[in-house]
């Protein structure tokens, strides 16, 4: 029988604004994280501040935003209208206070009712806001949401605008650091969506003249495009699209009011539907929707009055209405695509011919694979019932489905001992384990057919739910967890090759990681330190004098589940797999998995030498 507890007036608490944010940060910024993932909380804090500066640009005030991040101290300076000087404190520290409630001032705003800067304030151990307008300025400093210092009106010669400085609280965001690659990608999206805006980040300039057309150009090698980018613009909508020669699945970049809706929503569903309908009508053929959209690379941006998102982090649009007397989102997008894309194809017969050839090629390939795909699906379904290759998590069920989606993680590992350790140590709510049997196949240069014929690849694809598109990806984080030895490195490379060859958008969108596990354990009777590098080992030995016990972990299976729990929970270290912007996917695959060129041999020798030197030095010191 459940134990009864008293329920009295003492159980009722009223939290002030900052207490509520600090107690439930996930409600405001999604997951916390340490900065290794692009959707970690520290980037949401940065985004919330920049969004306000973007709104100023959209309203015609301030064409430049200056951003600096040094040692986790963030400074964002715009040259907009500036916060009304008498409301500087209220705007960043009082709920239900902000200019965005007044739709006359912010008709199609990026941010939402000024909640964002309040969350940044509450979740920073230092926060300062300064506003300048009409030759006067006012400022305020906070610590974890508490006002520490306020400077009222004073004369100044500085340019008008707002300057926000903050340092994320290391009590909330443990061992975090900003990765410039993720910040740069965020800033590029801002300038693509706001042509004419200049953003300076640590002195580097970001600017776009051609909007979403520039986005596709910067993310796609010209030689991989089937035809020149189709770029269509309307009052509240912009679309850019092309088809890839080599990519198998669909790739979409979607935005609403300047917000990158990574989970899509009603606008993206409407675009995909409109594209299929327009193509069918243009060619007079009832082509399969999957054949039309196969290999498409596109971007769609929509502006909506008072959008409704499915979470505070605004990653999925829920609105069905455009607002302002316009039709529904679905009707608006359908009408625009039908008219503009149809006109474009009539005016560009060469592009129309290439699109039709691509669709017919996709149709042939689909029919060739239809039989094997059916058998592969049946095998995957049977395998999920009868074996333990996939040990799933609970986050796809009930209340956890949306609340913790960003935390869902699939560890891909090899061997019974390693997968056993992770399985016993994991958080069963959000972490799943997929066990490889031996080394995966080298898929370089192979066709999609191999994904269905190879049992490991087929089951991995089924586990991730990415056969048709990554839109329904079951795990936000895909983590390769292998031993830190030559065989482990080889398995990493083979898995990365698989994703690059068939699902590169998983890497482009920041879903693939390498798990870092400690190489050494240094301990004495009072303290244990886990070391991920030779430098950390030396520091630990120095700290734990006299001579401590040193253990080198040669494989994941050697780490007990009790110890492993630390390395995949709060202290997890993930290295994101990122694409080199100066090298195409084909060039990357050719370098690492093609014939042994001198450059590749030198790369392997140098990297193996580091590992071997580390092992030899440890053996000498035993």
Between vectors from CA 184 to CA 318 and to CA 29, what angle results, nearest 5°?
40
The larger pLDDT score, comparing residue 396 to residue 12, is at 396
Residue 71 scores a pLDDT above 60: yes
- CB-based contact 330:266 (threshold 8 Å): yes
pLDDT of the residue at 143: 93
User: How does pLDDT run across 309-332, given as a tens digit for each residue?
Assistant: 776 566 777 777 777 778 888 999
pLDDT of the residue at 597: 59
- Rounded Cα distance, 179 and 38, in Å: 9
pLDDT of the residue at 121: 92
Contacts of 264 (CB under 8 A, 6+ apart): 252, 254, 316, 317, 471
Element (DSSP H or E) covering residue 458: helix 455-464
- Rounded Cα distance, 6 and 479, in Å: 45
- Rounded Cα distance, 220 and 436, in Å: 32
pLDDT of the residue at 440: 87
Residue 613 scores a pLDDT above 70: no
CATH number of 387-517+555-579: 3.40.50.670
User: How does pLDDT run across 269-308, given as a tens digit for each residue?
Assistant: 999 999 999 999 999 999 999 999 998 999 999 988 877 7
Given this chain, do its domains 212-366 and 387-517+555-579 carry the same CATH topology?
A: no
* Mean pLDDT along residues 426-450: 86
- Rounded Cα distance, 411 and 432, in Å: 6
Q: Reply yes or no on domain 17-207 having CATH 3.40.630.30.
A: no
Max Cα distance, the chain (Å) = 82
pLDDT of the residue at 164: 96
**Looking at the domain covering 212-366, what would its CATH class be?**
alpha beta
pLDDT of the residue at 622: 43
Average pLDDT, the chain: 83
Pairing verdict, β 431-436 and 390-391? antiparallel
* Mean pLDDT along residues 429-443: 88
Note the helical H segments in 317-409: 329-347, 349-386, 400-403
Q: Tokens representing 291? A: 């054949």
User: How does pLDDT run across 122-162, given as a tens digit for each residue?
Assistant: 999 999 999 999 899 999 999 999 999 998 888 888 899 99
- CB-based contact 363:288 (threshold 8 Å): yes
Confidence of residue 116 (pLDDT cuts 50, 70, 90): confident
Work out the number of other CB atoms within 10 angstroms of the CB of residue 246.
13
Confidence of residue 462 (pLDDT cuts 50, 70, 90): confident
pLDDT of the residue at 202: 95
Note the helical H segments in 517-597: 534-543, 561-567, 585-593
User: How does pLDDT run across 595-605, given as a tens digit for each residue?
Assistant: 655 665 565 55
User: How does pLDDT run across 543-560, given as a tens digit for each residue?
Assistant: 988 888 998 887 787 788
List C-alpha distances in Å: 163 to 66, 139, 225: 9, 9, 42
Spatial CA neighbour of 313 closest among 554, 111, 13: 111
Spatial CA neighbour of 309 closest among 48, 117, 112: 112
- Rounded Cα distance, 527 and 20, in Å: 36
- The percent of residues in the chain predicted with pLDDT above 90, rounded, is 34
Instruction: Please give the DSSP secondary-structure letter assigned to residue 416.
Output: H
Residue 111 scores a pLDDT above 60: no
Residue 402 scores a pLDDT above 60: no
* Mean pLDDT along residues 510-537: 88
CA 505 to chain centre: 11
List C-alpha distances in Å: 89 to 22, 142, 288: 19, 10, 57
The larger pLDDT score, comparing residue 427 to residue 1, is at 427
* Mean pLDDT along residues 227-236: 93
List C-alpha distances in Å: 389 to 254, 393, 412, 459, 482: 34, 13, 10, 8, 16
List C-alpha distances in Å: 337 to 239, 240, 272: 8, 11, 10
Contacts of 106 (CB under 8 A, 6+ apart): 55, 59, 99, 100
- Rounded Cα distance, 592 and 604, in Å: 9
Domain boundaries, the chain: 17-207, 212-366, 387-517+555-579, 518-552
- Rounded Cα distance, 208 and 329, in Å: 27
Question: Across 12-16, 80-84, 257-261, which has the greatest mean pLDDT?
Answer: 80-84
Q: Could you give the 3-state DSSP secondary structure of residue 15?
A: coil
Residue 608 scores a pLDDT above 50: no
Q: Tokens representing 441? A: 């196949």
């Amino acid at each position: 029988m459940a134990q009864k507890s008293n329920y009295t007036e003492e159980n009722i608490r009223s939290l002030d604004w900052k207490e509520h944010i600090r107690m439930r940060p996930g409600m405001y910024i999604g997951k916390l994280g340490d900065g290794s993932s692009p959707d970690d909380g520290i980037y949401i804090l940065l985004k919330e501040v920049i969004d306000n500066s973007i709104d100023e640009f959209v309203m015609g005030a301030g064409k430049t935003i200056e951003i600096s991040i040094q040692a986790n101290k963030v400074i964002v300076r715009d040259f907009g209208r500036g916060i009304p000087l008498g409301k500087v404190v209220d705007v960043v520290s009082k709920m239900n206070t902000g200019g965005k409630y007044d739709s006359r001032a912010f008709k199609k705003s990026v941010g939402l009712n000024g909640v964002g800067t309040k969350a940044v304030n509450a979740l920073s151990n230092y926060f300062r806001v300064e506003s300048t307008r009409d030759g006067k300025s006012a400022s305020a400093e906070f610590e974890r949401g508490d006002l520490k210092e306020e400077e009222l009106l004073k004369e100044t010669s500085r340019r008008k605008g707002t300057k926000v400085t903050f340092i994320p609280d290391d009590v909330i965001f443990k061992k975090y650091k900003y990765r410039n690659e993720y910040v740069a990608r965020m800033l590029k999206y801002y300038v693509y969506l706001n042509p004419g805006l200049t953003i300076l980040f640590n002195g580097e300039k970001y600017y776009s003249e051609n909007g979403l057309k520039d986005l596709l150009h910067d993310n796609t090698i010209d030689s991989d495009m089937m035809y020149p980018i189709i770029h269509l613009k309307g009052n509240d909508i912009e679309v850019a699209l092309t088809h890839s020669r080599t990519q198998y699945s669909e790739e979409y970049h979607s935005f609403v009011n300047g917000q990158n809706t990574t989970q899509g929503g009603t606008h993206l569903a409407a675009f995909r539907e409109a594209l299929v309908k327009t193509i069918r009508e243009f060619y007079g053929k009832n082509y399969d929707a999957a054949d039309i959209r196969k290999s498409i690379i596109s971007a769609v941006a929509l502006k909506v009055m008072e959008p409704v998102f499915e979470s505070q982090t605004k990653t999925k649009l829920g609105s069905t209405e455009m607002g302002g007397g316009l039709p529904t989102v679905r009707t608006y997008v359908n009408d625009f695509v039908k008219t503009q894309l149809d006109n474009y194809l009539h005016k560009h017969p060469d592009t129309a011919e290439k699109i039709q050839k691509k669709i017919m090629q996709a149709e042939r390939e689909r029919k060739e694979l239809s039989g094997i795909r059916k058998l592969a699906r049946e095998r995957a379904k049977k395998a999920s019932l009868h074996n333990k290759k996939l040990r799933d998590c609970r986050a796809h069920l009930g209340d956890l489905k949306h609340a913790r989606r960003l935390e869902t993680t699939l560890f891909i590992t090899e061997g019974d001992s390693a997968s056993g350790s992770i399985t016993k140590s994991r958080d069963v709510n959000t972490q799943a384990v997929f066990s490889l049997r031996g080394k995966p196949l080298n898929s370089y240069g192979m066709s999609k057919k191999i994904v269905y014929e190879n049992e490991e690849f087929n089951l991995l694809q089924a586990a991730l739910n990415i056969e048709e598109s990554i839109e329904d990806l079951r795990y936000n984080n895909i983590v390769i967890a292998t031993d830190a030895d030559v065989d482990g490195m080889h398995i990493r490379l083979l898995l990365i090759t698989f994703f690059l060859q068939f699902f590169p958008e998983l890497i482009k969108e920041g879903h693939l990681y390498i798990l870092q596990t400690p190489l050494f354990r240094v301990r004495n009777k009072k303290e244990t330190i886990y070391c991920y590098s030779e430098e950390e080992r030396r520091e630990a030995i120095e700290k734990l004098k006299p001579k401590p016990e040193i253990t080198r972990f040669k494989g994941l299976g050697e780490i007990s589940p009790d110890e492993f729990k630390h390395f995949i929970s709060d202290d997890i270290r993930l290295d994101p797999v990122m694409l080199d912007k100066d090298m195409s996917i084909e060039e990357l695959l050719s370098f690492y998995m093609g014939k042994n060129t001198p450059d590749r041999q030198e790369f392997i020798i140098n990297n193996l030498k580091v590992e071997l030197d580390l092992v030899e030095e440890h053996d000498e010191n035993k």
